Structure 1
Amino acid sequence: MHKLTILILFILSGFSSLAQAPFRGAMQAPNTIHKTPYGNNPSAGHYVQANDAKIYYEVYGGATHGKKQPIVILHGGILGSTIEMANFIDSLKQNFQVIAISTRGHGKSEIGSLPITYEKKANDVMAVINAVTPDKAIILGFSDGAYTAYKVASMYPERIKKMIAIGAGEQIPGLRKVVFNPKELLALDPPYWTQQKALMPQPQRLEEFWAGMETFYNTMTASKELFASIKCPVLLMAGELDRNAPLPTVINAYNMIPNAQLSIIPNTGHVCFSENFPATWASIVPFLKN
């Protein structure tokens, strides 16, 4: 195997039609699936200063018929962008106030000057929540976004009502080896990266950011101490064939979280919601209603 990160290969395994429709098929805005250019929508976009970085976010589904429950959407890391969460935003904005965040180093959000940690990413999320609403929020996060959601719920239990975590199981150093090869990553879908770099405040720092994230992913821990500290209800979801968050690691996390439900989407990989959104959504709806 080339030094294209195992993590990235696992992410790509979720896109069964990658050869026919690369990242643009699910992530790049505007596209032929979603009319709203999520992640690059001036009519909904805002910024907030979060310590060393300016974080970009969009708000949808305001209080047109009374106050709506806020729900934060966090996309995946490295290859991720707000547009990959489009089906969720489309489905949620009728009944919720949707707060879709471009996490630092992605889209229009700055990278910042300090090393990446999940504490810092959690503080980014809270800076956005505080700018939008004083109410408790629900968080829906995918992959890196789900690990960030775990940290937010742990650090700020009084502000989080419940959480949906997709594709994020127990993680300890040495469990996997992450290696980012910038040349290979950029070659996977050049038009996508052209589009994404056009959004970035400092596109010249992209490879520097990836190098920092490589170190971070290879040293991060998400295990008993973190999971046991999460008190809000959690819906933990994963694709049955997810090789980035294999089922044993997801089940371990489920067993460590005090108030957790588990949903496995059959015959799907890491990006289970892209492969089978109806099944993913069918698990989420009753959790949101309870």
Structure 2
Amino acid sequence: MDTVTAQSKGNYADVNGLKMYYEIHGEGFPLVLIHGGGSNINTTFGRILPSLAKTNKVIAVEMQAHGHTADIDRPLTFEQDADDIAALLKQLNIAKANILGFSNGASTTLELAIRHPQVVNRIIVASTMYKKGGAQPWFWDMMANATFEGMPQIYKDAFIKINPDKDALYNMYKRDVARMQSFKDIREEDIKGIQAPTLIIIGDNDVVTPEHAVEMYRQIEHARLMIYPGGHGDYLGEITTIKPGQKDYAALPVIEAFLKEN
């Protein structure tokens, strides 16, 4: 039977055979935060989470093989991640939630809206594509020739700070690379079927092309689109993109306003 147990530094839920780590911050309507590949709660959302927790019940998760959540013997897929989030919400007795996903986390968010529409209120998908052709060609070249040495050191340090097992770190890296190398397009009919109000966010120098963001905006019936100057996560304060002394994050007020809409 699935159970939820409290831990001193957060919480763990047994979902679909996975011991998933999550944290709850603040009060209000539930908002799930889903981090990017190779990342964790803090590296993706650490700069904006305190602000979001002022007006939302933030449920920040760490997905299979990432952060505090150990890997298990099953495929690593966006569909499975979406099923895990849905199972977690059920355990927490949350009927509906807003979802904010970044990069790989946004791919999971799209799958959640497709596979479990009943649990989704509004979604925010940041720096993601629904088909392979939506990413810059250099991204797929990088994935084809990926090396562990090329993984941002700040991600490695963040993982080791949580889990000193270097084999687990390398396993996470291999899993994430393999998932992207075998990336499968989401069917257009599934994208068009998303009914949740959707905010699409990218940078104009992102992994995702502006043209693809516009295409996705046209496909989703109740979509809004924001394109910021900058790269992959600048607008959120993602840890690999923040500048020294940076305290303002361009997307935060837009996200907060979108979440307050009726």
TM interval, shorter chain, is 0.7 to 0.9
Q: How far is 1:195 from its partner?
A: 4.4
Q: Distance in 1 between matches of 2:212 and 2:13?
A: 34
Q: Is 1:47 aligned to residue 47 of structure 2? A: no
Change (3 A) 1:289 1:110: same
Confirm or deny: 8 A CA contact 2:33 2:101 kept in the other structure: yes
| 1:213-270 C-alpha deviation (Å, 9 max, x unpaired) | 222212222351331121100000111221x1121121121111121000111x2111
In structure 2, the residue corresponding to 1:211 is in which secondary structure?
Answer: helix
Q: Distance in 2 between matches of 1:207 and 1:223?
A: 32
Q: Distance in 2 between matches of 1:222 and 1:88?
A: 29
Match of 1:227 among 177, 183, 191: 191
Match of 1:125 among 78, 85, 92: 85
Confirm or deny: 8 A CA contact 1:57 1:128 kept in the other structure: no
Q: Distance in 1 between matches of 2:132 and 2:18?
A: 27
Partner of 2:203: 239
Change (3 A) 1:60 1:148: same
Change (3 A) 1:96 1:43: farther
Amino acid at match of 2:89: I
Tell me which moved more, 169-178 or 50-59.
Answer: 169-178
In structure 2, the residue corresponding to 1:57 is in which secondary structure?
Answer: strand
Confirm or deny: 8 A CA contact 1:151 1:226 kept in the other structure: no
Q: Distance in 2 between matches of 1:200 and 1:128?
A: 23
Q: How far is 1:211 from its partner?
A: 2.4
Confirm or deny: 8 A CA contact 2:62 2:68 kept in the other structure: yes
Partner of 1:56: 21
Q: How many aligned residue pairs are there?
A: 239
Partner of 2:159: 196
Q: How far is 1:183 from its partner?
A: 2.8
Q: Distance in 2 between matches of 1:194 and 1:269?
A: 22
Q: How far is 1:181 from its partner?
A: 0.7
Confirm or deny: 8 A CA contact 1:69 1:96 kept in the other structure: yes
In structure 1, the residue corresponding to 2:46 is in which secondary structure?
Answer: helix
Give the TM-score normalised by the residue count of structure 1.
0.75
Partner of 2:215: 252
C-alpha RMSD of the superposition: 2.4
In structure 2, the residue corresponding to 1:87 is in which secondary structure?
Answer: coil
Q: Is 1:140 aligned to residue 100 of structure 2? A: yes
Partner of 1:181: 147
Seq. identity, %: 26
Match of 2:125 among 160, 165, 176: 165
Q: How far is 1:154 from its partner?
A: 0.8
Confirm or deny: 8 A CA contact 1:241 1:268 kept in the other structure: yes
User: Tell me, which stretches of 5 or more residues in structure 1 are unaligned?
Assistant: 1-40, 63-67
Q: Distance in 2 between matches of 1:196 and 1:211?
A: 14
Partner of 2:3: none
Q: How far is 1:97 from its partner?
A: 0.7
Change (3 A) 1:231 1:127: same
In structure 2, the residue corresponding to 1:104 is in which secondary structure?
Answer: coil
Tell me which moved more, 155-164 or 208-217.
Answer: 208-217
Confirm or deny: 8 A CA contact 1:52 1:113 kept in the other structure: no
Q: Stretches of 4+ moved more than 4 A in 1?
A: 41-44
| 1:157-196 C-alpha deviation (Å, 9 max, x unpaired) | 11110001110123227962414311332xx427x52441
Q: How far is 1:44 from its partner?
A: 5.7
Partner of 1:37: none
Q: Distance in 1 between matches of 2:9 and 2:31?
A: 15
Partner of 2:41: 82
Give the TM-score normalised by the residue count of structure 2.
0.82
Amino acid at match of 2:223: A
